[in-house]
Amino acid sequence: MTITTGIEKKAPTASGRGARIRLSRTAKYVLLVLFLVVVLMPVYVLIVTSLKPPQDVNPASSWGLPVRWPWESVAPGGPTGFDNWAIAWEALSPAIGRTFMLAIPAALVSSFLGAMNGFVLSRWRFPRADWVFTFILFGMFIPYQAIMTPLVQMKTSLGLPSDIGTLTLVHIIYGLPICTLIFRNYYVGIPMELMEASRVDGAGMLRTFRSVVLPLSLPGFVVTIIWQFTSAWNDFLFALFLSNQRQGPVSLALNNLAQGAQLANYGAAMAGALLASLPTLVVYIVLGKYFIGGLMSGSVKS
Amino acid sequence: MRKGIKNWGPPLLLVSPTIVILGIFVYGLIAANISVSMSDRHSLQPAQNFVGIENYIALLTEDRFLHSLYNLGIFTLFFIAGTMFFGFLWAWMLDKGVNSEGVFRSVYLFPMAISFVASGVVWRWLLNSAEGDRASGLNRIFENLGLGFLQNPWWSDPTWGMAAIALPAIWQLSGYVMALFLSGFRGIPEELREAARMDGASEWKLYRHVVFPQLSPVALSALIIVGHMSLKVFDLIMAITKAIYQTEVPATYLWIALTANDYAKSATIATILLLLVAVLIVPYLIYTARAEKAHR
């Protein structure tokens, strides 16, 4: 009943000894740490720049640490490092609220429908169930640009607003294939003697699903909810084509803040990028295993 | 297998909402897109005529579209090569057991949790094209380290500019490819390696004849996933350069056509993108389905 990502370390294996091996071990750690630094470099830039008042942002010292505390200004009464964060917060906070309103329902509804589909396609099958599965799965791989023109036309002709509600619907719909895939693979992987017993007892499909399968499904739900939440939160494509600045999600607001920025205002843009990334980063740090579980299921293999 | 509608009716009913929804919003809209692409709807006015493949011929002979395909090609080449290289290298280094492996793994993978828009903010700064005294970002590092000759205009370079745009994409996706390879490495039964060692295989032969063959399905998955992400690239380019000619790819060209209400053109670009992705994905899906069937 757990999610295995397949990347956890196995039992330690005996490793050879000797000077040559020790040297290559050192070289390996040096390399690993070097890559660690390179991967974290953009984060350093984001944090450091976001804490510098605009006057302190200049090319020569751009990689340096801030030269004053973030609550101090260059000239008395001038902007401080924290002012960047205030500007970013003001620009993004309404959109951050809206994005929660978008991402949470989108994650819950797609996950629930995906669980039903996954259950039926793995455990309560019907003739040609494999065809139906492939039919559903295809939706996961299409570039969304392929449906964008008629989708935009459809939205206009139905008179749907350019707001979070419309985007929520869209994310629910296009989240169905991946949620179905994740749950199908999840249900295939867990033993379900109870389900078979319930079926033999003559319990109906819905009752079996509700009282036997759903209680075993929590790890699957954690994976799909995280996946859906993250992709809805980070989405820019649907947001740009189907919503607008005033009513759209945080990705649009951040893009606006960043594109409007002159070099002097990079600090606010970077503070904004950190703010906008915070929810998904927290999810990654707290529930990393499930996040990776979702990622790995994207490669179809069960 | 049990027969009769009593047995297969209810499960079919349970998936039917999804079948209907995706039938409309995936298959129906793809059909609608193709139909728009074969019309002369180049403005807000409704289409007047069916023009067949005229729009396709016009697009595929247009310098601007060919330029966007060239850009996409360069981007894809570097994106795939970069993620496969670093992904494999990291997985290989971590596989043999490293202290605090979890830390390395988590850090290498974390950019995956961030949106392209957010990472675009910092990469736009890192890829600043100014050089010398005015250099900031990566060029400033080179300047300060005495590696001034490495300074370059990044994405402003007309020939190789798209390779610079691939850098942030590599930064974000290498960890993912690492995770795929790591699961591949760890799926190799230890007995297999032991048996080869017992037979006196050298470390290189072990890789050549045991490890690499076992990894090839994973490598294929990684290649397909990264490749299909690459063909769709949009967010990253919008965040770093906006939709400009210099860094134009089909997806950003589509955005420009659609905002100009040239529906026929945007739909034509969309169909070509879909075909490009399908060439990659459909054989892969068939291959996976067969492998799964054989596995059962």
- Give the span between the Cα atoms of B15 and A55, in whole angstroms: 59
To test the contact with chain A by mutation, choose from B6, B42, B125 the residue with the greatest count of A C-beta atoms within 10 A, namely B125
Question: B86, A258: Cβ pair inside 8 Å?
Answer: no
Among the partner-chain residues B113, B115, B228, the one whose CB lies closest to the CB of A284 is: B113
- Asked whether residue B201 is domain-assigned, the answer is yes
Instruction: Please report how many Cα atoms fall inside a 13 Å half-sphere around the Cα of residue A130, on the Cβ side.
Output: 7
- Asked whether residue B43 is domain-assigned, the answer is no
Check whether A174 has a pLDDT greater than 80. yes
**Residue range of the domain that includes A113:** 82-297
Q: Quick one: pLDDT at residue B232?
A: 92
CATH of the domain at B239: 1.10.3720.10
Find out whether B37 and B264 touch, Cβ atoms under 8 Å. Answer: yes
Confidence band of A302 (pLDDT split at 50, 70, 90): very low
Q: Quick one: pLDDT at residue B134?
A: 72
Q: Could you tell me if A227 lies within 8 Å of chain B, comparing CB atoms?
A: no
Question: A151, B29: Cβ pair inside 8 Å?
Answer: yes
Question: Average pLDDT over chain A, rounded to whole?
Answer: 85
Q: How many helices (H) and strands (E) does chain B have?
A: 14, 0
DSSP A225-260: HHHHHHHHHH--HHHHHH--TTTS-HHHHHHHHHHT
Size of chain B in residues: 296
Q: Quick one: pLDDT at residue B1?
A: 47
- Asked whether residue B35 is domain-assigned, the answer is no
Question: A237, B235: Cβ pair inside 8 Å?
Answer: yes
Report CA-CA distances (Å) from A204 to A112, A113, A201, B17.
19, 18, 9, 19
Q: Tokens 């390879």 label which residue?
A: B181
- Asked whether residue B13 is domain-assigned, the answer is no
pTM of the model: 0.89
Find out whether B104 and B94 touch, Cβ atoms under 8 Å. Answer: yes
DSSP A17-78: -SHHHHHHHHHHHHHHHHHHHHHHHHHHHHHHHHTS-GGG--GGGTTSPPSS-TT-BSSTTS
Confidence band of A156 (pLDDT split at 50, 70, 90): very high
- Give the span between the Cα atoms of B161 and B95, in whole angstroms: 35
Question: A35, B90: Cβ pair inside 8 Å?
Answer: yes
Q: What is the ipTM of this complex?
A: 0.90
- Asked whether residue A66 is domain-assigned, the answer is no
Q: Quick one: pLDDT at residue A201?
A: 77
Check whether A22 has a pLDDT greater than 70. no
To test the contact with chain B by mutation, choose from A34, A47, A142, A184 the residue with the greatest count of B C-beta atoms within 10 A, namely A142
Check whether A301 has a pLDDT greater than 80. no
- Give the span between the Cα atoms of A264 and A266, in whole angstroms: 6
Q: Could you tell me if A199 lies within 8 Å of chain B, comparing CB atoms?
A: no
Question: A46, B134: Cβ pair inside 8 Å?
Answer: no
Q: Could you tell me if B183 lies within 8 Å of chain A, comparing CB atoms?
A: yes
DSSP A112-177: HHHHHHHHHHHTS--TTHHHHHHHHHHHHHS-THHHHHHHHHHHHHHT--SSHHHHHHHHHHHHHH
Q: Could you tell me if A191 lies within 8 Å of chain B, comparing CB atoms?
A: no
Q: Which residues of B touch A230 (CB under 8 A)?
A: 113
- Give the span between the Cα atoms of A149 and B255, in whole angstroms: 9
Q: Could you tell me if B216 lies within 8 Å of chain A, comparing CB atoms?
A: no
- Asked whether residue A271 is domain-assigned, the answer is yes
Q: Could you tell me if B229 lies within 8 Å of chain A, comparing CB atoms?
A: no
Report CA-CA distances (Å) from A183 to A5, A46, A258, A286, B260.
14, 37, 38, 22, 41
* Poorest-pLDDT segment among A217-226, B143-152, B226-235: B143-152
Q: Quick one: pLDDT at residue A32?
A: 93
Question: A147, B136: Cβ pair inside 8 Å?
Answer: no
- For A183-214, write each residue's pLDDT tens digit: 998 888 877 777 777 777 777 888 888 888 88
Q: Which two tokens stand for residue A187?
A: 């249900």
To test the contact with chain A by mutation, choose from B2, B18, B83 the residue with the greatest count of A C-beta atoms within 10 A, namely B18
Q: Which two tokens stand for residue A82?
A: 């924290």
Check whether B191 has a pLDDT greater than 80. yes
How many separate domains does chain B show? 1
Find out whether A9 and B97 touch, Cβ atoms under 8 Å. Answer: yes
- Give the span between the Cα atoms of B181 and A248, in whole angstroms: 37
- Asked whether residue A257 is domain-assigned, the answer is yes
A-proximal residues of B, 55-74, CB under 8 Å: none
Torsion of CA A297, A301, B1, B7, to 10 degrees: 20
- Asked whether residue A139 is domain-assigned, the answer is yes
Q: Could you tell me if B219 lies within 8 Å of chain A, comparing CB atoms?
A: no
Nearest-neighbour CA in chain B from A77: distance (Å): 28
CATH of the domain at A216: 1.10.3720.10
Report CA-CA distances (Å) from B197 to A18, A242, A288, B203, B262.
19, 59, 36, 8, 64
Q: Quick one: pLDDT at residue A167?
A: 96
Q: Which residues of A touch B225 (CB under 8 A)?
A: 298-299
**Residue range of the domain that includes B253:** 52-295
Work out how many CB contacts closer than 8 A connect A with B.
Answer: 280
Residues B154-178, mean pLDDT to the nearest whole number: 90
Check whether B65 has a pLDDT greater than 80. yes
Percent of chain B with pLDDT over 90: 51
- Asked whether residue A94 is domain-assigned, the answer is yes
Q: Quick one: pLDDT at residue A18?
A: 46
A138-151 burial string, b = 16+ CB within 10 Å, else e? bbbbbbbbbbbbbb
Q: Which two tokens stand for residue A250?
A: 């945080």
Find out whether B284 and B220 touch, Cβ atoms under 8 Å. Answer: yes
For chain A, what percentages of helix, strand and coil (3-state, to nearest 5) are there? 75, 0, 25
Among the partner-chain residues A134, A148, A281, the one whose CB lies closest to the CB of B285 is: A134
A-proximal residues of B, 101-130, CB under 8 Å: 101, 104-126, 130
**Closest residue of B to A299, CA-based?**
B221
Determine whether A193 is exposed, middle or buried from the number of CB atoms within 10 Å of its CB (0-12, 13-18, 19+): exposed
Instruction: Please report how many Cα atoms fall inside a 13 Å half-sphere around the Cα of residue B143, on the Cβ side.
Output: 19
Q: Could you tell me if B214 lies within 8 Å of chain A, comparing CB atoms?
A: no
- Asked whether residue A67 is domain-assigned, the answer is no
Q: Could you tell me if B292 lies within 8 Å of chain A, comparing CB atoms?
A: yes
Helix (H, G, I), strand (E, B) or coil at A80: strand
Determine whether B45 is exposed, middle or buried from the number of CB atoms within 10 Å of its CB (0-12, 13-18, 19+): exposed
- Asked whether residue B37 is domain-assigned, the answer is no
Within A98-227, strands assigned E span none
A117-133 burial string, b = 16+ CB within 10 Å, else e? bbbbbbbbbbeebeebb
Helix (H, G, I), strand (E, B) or coil at B38: coil
Q: Where would I find the H helices in B42-160? A: 54-60, 63-95, 101-109, 116-126, 137-144
Q: Could you tell me if A202 lies within 8 Å of chain B, comparing CB atoms?
A: no
Question: B266, A300: Cβ pair inside 8 Å?
Answer: no
Question: A147, B29: Cβ pair inside 8 Å?
Answer: yes
Check whether B190 has a pLDDT greater than 60. yes
Question: B96, A15: Cβ pair inside 8 Å?
Answer: yes
- Asked whether residue B19 is domain-assigned, the answer is no
Nearest-neighbour CA in chain A from B166: distance (Å): 15
Q: Could you tell me if A262 lies within 8 Å of chain B, comparing CB atoms?
A: no
How many separate domains does chain A show? 1
- Give the span between the Cα atoms of B132 and A180, in whole angstroms: 53
Question: A152, B32: Cβ pair inside 8 Å?
Answer: no
Residue A137 DSSP label: H
